[in-house]
Chain A
């Protein structure tokens, strides 16, 4: 069965309102034969009801009543399609009102970000904002899709200009891998099928890129990090003294027989057994969910972390973060107290300092106006009630990330990346 070798790739799409993002997604789904006949018929009927001339592929993702009434996308929508090589999860993030919040959400788990640029307008403020977020969230691969090439006569000069402008801007950011693809989502050029209108372009089509981009080193396989989620205790005669530590590997490769160290206690032991979903396994790596057994009888619970003795996470109560603020009705409070989730730990924290607000269009660090409202990015310092076991976000996206929760409303008010 060929699906047994198929990998999973998650990508997010970012674009401004009229640059054809929904059309591109519709095109990918349609040309890869991932839209069913009854779905197509349903959106065709709905498009006609709304008096639209063409079948509006955006209606595939805009499912909620108010989205259909207002003709806008409100929330991140997840779409799925697959080719024989890979299964894809698209986090389709809408480009207005809660744009930063939505894009950050979609970006947090993505391997690839598609940034869509209207060929007629070139690199605009929105494009820069999307690139900054992709950089901040450390999305490993970025593709600039230069769309609507049909409206600029498939001009190579236009493509070159977007390419050069974007590269000049991206040089200031922390982006590792950027590609550029000229497309027409409306007609399908270079999306799934190679364009016959742009012989000067020798790169791959979008789907070829998505099927082949190297993602197996997107995880950290060097530094062992295993946050304990829960303890498995069967309490029956067959497994009398069984104590297993369940969790999902956040970094590194754990092997049977390895020396390990426990945080926060600092006790050391050895891995005696790794139980996986299909039985015992010799090693475990990200993103596998396993149960680890150790040789010694040490008290371990949820929130503890297994590392290697010579390669520990940083144990600290003082943390610097880049945050994206989500709340529309409350702004970030200096000296304010919040709940914070990090790996399997939940603690409280106090905001000790707001260092600067990052102007997302110019990259300017504003130290004067430090009011942090919805969609804004800031650098802050916090102190937590208990030590967390952290890595810089650049090094590990799982042990380097937190969410901040308002204690009065229980809402998630910010996402944070550890500096």
Chain B
């Protein structure tokens, strides 16, 4: 008799293990929910980990005010369906209150402003663990991230001084005021996520599937036209058949020309593509180490 499970079941089992560790070891954990496929996967896994009990985590969404409307609609539907508690941290309000200042210029983005709002919400809620759907294959700074990642009292990440992680023993000890970021799907790749979502038939926001949208081109990336972006005079808006490969703010999330209209189409598309998922993220392109720089200051 041979006992073995496929790679998706093994990843699922690992993630469920981590989610249960968080519920058991922390006083007040929160799940960071962006509305993208990775955080949708996290909620799906959390549902399985604690079934038939409810998911024991509050959801935290940092709303930049620049989200795709489809994201907000999906978020509210999911929260209602699973009977979850949702906290929304608003960048709009943070700007009004003077916590952060809006960036100016053509490439202005609220991406960086999320950090201050996130840290503020974690402090207000006295959360000692924030679960996130980041994956190590996404970006080179994230490739060095731990499952349980320690943050000091300023929310800072110190990549040179991380705790070694061995077997399945996770050290979550911390001083009061410090917290952990926990990444249960660290070992999943983009392809794993899509394969799993296909097998599990998980409902997804319409943005991931091919649709017609008004777009314009900037430095090789297609951006969705919206009121939040300052367009240069030479940037011409036209209609294209596109889909999102990642979902962030409208200001920094590139869309891709694609006619993939089912999850199976998407799997086929990303199995053959030559570009990484975050290749369309202008927030990563600001410098060679922009993700690392943001993460050190407490970015998700």
**Cβ-based interface call for A54 (8 A):** no
Q: Contact between B169 and A341 (Cβ–Cβ < 8 Å)?
A: yes
A415: chain B residues within 8 A (beta carbon): 164, 166
- Complex alpha-carbon distance, A232 and B20, angstroms: 10
Tell me if A's interface is mostly helix, strand, loop or mixed: mixed
Query: Interface with B: A1-9, A170-178, A203-211, A348-356, which one?
Result: A1-9
Known: A4-B199, A230-B23. A63 touches B166 (CB 8 A): no
**Cβ-based interface call for B228 (8 A):** no
CB contact between A287 and one of B10, B165, B275 (< 8 Å): that residue = B10
- Complex alpha-carbon distance, A89 and B11, angstroms: 11
B230: chain A residues within 8 A (beta carbon): none
- Complex alpha-carbon distance, A234 and B175, angstroms: 31
- Complex alpha-carbon distance, A333 and B288, angstroms: 43
Known: A39-B276, A79-B143. A221 touches B191 (CB 8 A): no
**Cβ-based interface call for A402 (8 A):** yes
B198: chain A residues within 8 A (beta carbon): 1
Convert A61-76 into 0s and 1s, putting 1 for each residue whose CB lies closer than 8 angstroms to a CB of B: 1111110100000111
**Cβ-based interface call for B154 (8 A):** no
Interface size on B, residues (CB 8 A): 65
**Cβ-based interface call for A126 (8 A):** no
Q: Contact between A63 and B10 (Cβ–Cβ < 8 Å)?
A: no
B170: chain A residues within 8 A (beta carbon): 341
Q: Give, as a whole number of angstroms, the nearest-CB distance from A300 to chain B.
A: 13
Q: Contact between A87 and B3 (Cβ–Cβ < 8 Å)?
A: no
Work out how many contacts link A and B, with CB atoms closer than 8 A.
Answer: 190
**Cβ-based interface call for B262 (8 A):** no
Q: Contact between B164 and A412 (Cβ–Cβ < 8 Å)?
A: yes
Q: Contact between B13 and A216 (Cβ–Cβ < 8 Å)?
A: no
Q: Contact between B49 and A80 (Cβ–Cβ < 8 Å)?
A: no
**Cβ-based interface call for B136 (8 A):** yes
**Cβ-based interface call for A411 (8 A):** yes
**Cβ-based interface call for B168 (8 A):** yes
Across the two chains, which residue of chain B brings its CB closest to A232?
B53
Q: Give, as a whole number of angstroms, the nearest-CB distance from B178 to chain A.
A: 9
Query: Interface with B: A102-110, A145-153, A154-162, which one?
Result: A102-110
Interface centre among A86, A105, A302, A412 (most CB of B within 10 A): A412
CB contact between B292 and one of A63, A79, A248, A289 (< 8 Å): that residue = A63
Q: Contact between B275 and A38 (Cβ–Cβ < 8 Å)?
A: yes
Query: Interface with B: A15-23, A235-243, A310-318, A361-369, which one?
Result: A235-243
Convert B186-206 into 0s and 1s, putting 1 for each residue whose CB lies closer than 8 angstroms to a CB of A: 110101100100110000000
CB contact between A401 and one of B50, B163, B167, B199 (< 8 Å): that residue = B167
**Cβ-based interface call for B140 (8 A):** yes
Q: Give, as a whole number of angstroms, the nearest-CB distance from A318 to chain B.
A: 20
B5: chain A residues within 8 A (beta carbon): 287-288
B141: chain A residues within 8 A (beta carbon): 63-64
B52: chain A residues within 8 A (beta carbon): 232, 234, 236, 238-239, 242
**Cβ-based interface call for A56 (8 A):** no
Q: Contact between A65 and B289 (Cβ–Cβ < 8 Å)?
A: yes
Q: Contact between B143 and A8 (Cβ–Cβ < 8 Å)?
A: no
Q: In residues 135-168 of chain B, which contact A (Cβ within 8 Å)?
A: 136-137, 139-141, 143-144, 159-160, 162-168
Q: Contact between A344 and B24 (Cβ–Cβ < 8 Å)?
A: yes
Q: Contact between B187 and A46 (Cβ–Cβ < 8 Å)?
A: no
- Complex alpha-carbon distance, A232 and B47, angstroms: 12
- Complex alpha-carbon distance, A60 and B144, angstroms: 12
Q: Contact between B288 and A7 (Cβ–Cβ < 8 Å)?
A: no
Q: Contact between A403 and B143 (Cβ–Cβ < 8 Å)?
A: no
**Cβ-based interface call for A212 (8 A):** no
Known: A277-B12, A277-B48. A7 touches B195 (CB 8 A): no
Q: Contact between A36 and B279 (Cβ–Cβ < 8 Å)?
A: yes
**Cβ-based interface call for B43 (8 A):** no
Q: Contact between A229 and B17 (Cβ–Cβ < 8 Å)?
A: yes
A410: chain B residues within 8 A (beta carbon): 171, 173-175
Known: A229-B17, A277-B13. A89 touches B191 (CB 8 A): no
A82: chain B residues within 8 A (beta carbon): 7, 189, 191
Q: Contact between A5 and B167 (Cβ–Cβ < 8 Å)?
A: no
Known: A234-B53, A403-B167. 5 other contacts (CB 8 A): A38-B276, A64-B289, A79-B137, A287-B13, A288-B13
In the complex, the 7 A-B pairs of residues with the closest C-beta atoms, listed nearest first: A63-B140, A37-B274, A8-B7, A410-B173, A108-B166, A289-B16, A234-B53
Q: List 7 A-B contacts (CB under 8 A).
A: A64-B289, A65-B293, A76-B144, A82-B191, A105-B165, A239-B52, A289-B12
